[in-house]
Chains A and B, each alone.
Chain A
Amino acid sequence: MSQGNAFSTRRSLTRDEVAARVIPILAEQAGMAPEELRDSHSLIDDLLYDSLTVVETVMELEEEFDVEIADDAADGMRTVGDVIDGMCRLLEDRAD
């Protein structure tokens, strides 16, 4: 498969497709424009989230993708890129 593990037999989303749905949610919570966000941006330091915002965002992502994000998985999501990668992994697990 040319796209690496981005596709599985039960087709899961590509990273770009996941990013396209994750970024507007992250941007809205931060009060920023989606195009301003970079993978390297820290949720706490750059998007100025506090732990309440992090929780609300994670719950919104769970609803958006209809998945459950475990507490330790959420703890590992420090940057915009982490969130996108984390969501990709969860969606792959679900598709397998």
Chain B
Amino acid sequence: MSKKVLKTPDYRRVELDGVEYVILRESIFEELCRRAEVGLEATVEPGAEADALDGATLAEKLVRRRRASGLSQAELARRAGIRPETLNRIERGRTTPDFATVRKLVLAMNAAEEAAAQTSLADASRENESTKRTQKQE
């Protein structure tokens, strides 16, 4: 039987018949178990809460989408054709918007995102052109 013990600060690694084992102080093992349980709870909880927080998550998703589209609250309200106060209430989760309102918001955000993507594409190709020109000059 081969037997090998590698000493490290917190645990020992033992190999018995080709299988690796770790020897830990009991207090450390218990601490790890405790942390694993905390970790498990942490991954279970958000799903269970998601249902109750639906209004809030919709509001959060809308705010995230709006920021990604680069629009201010006032600008998005203007482009979507809804009152700024209404959008403010929606984003604070105070009111649940109807289908027509959400569609207007999504359309306005999509349009802004597309416009931004086209601008950055145009910028990139312009940059590309100027790089080529510089290279030719060299």
Contact = CB atoms under 8 A, between A and B. Distances in A.
Contact of A59 (B57, B62, B100, B106): B106
Contacts, number: 36
A55 B103 contact: yes
Interface of B (DSSP majority class)? helix
Nearest to B47: A48
B86 to A, nearest CB: 14
Contacts of B54: 50
B70 to A, nearest CB: 18
A56 B65 CA distance: 12
Nearest to B100: A71
Is the contact region of chain A dominated by helix, strand, or loop, or is it mixed?
Answer: helix
Contacts of B57: 50
Interface in A31-61: 48, 50-52, 54-56, 58-59
Contacts of A52: 58, 61-62, 65, 102, 106
A51 to B, nearest CB: 5
Interface residues of B, number: 16
A66 interface: no
A75 interface: yes
B56 to A, nearest CB: 10
A74 interface: yes
A50 B58 contact: yes
Interface in B63-90: 65
Nearest to B90: A51
Interface of B: 50-51, 54, 57-58, 61-62, 65, 96-100, 102-103, 106
Given A55-B103, A71-B103, 10 more contacts: A48-B50, A48-B51, A50-B58, A50-B61, A51-B98, A51-B102, A71-B99, A74-B99, A75-B98, A75-B99
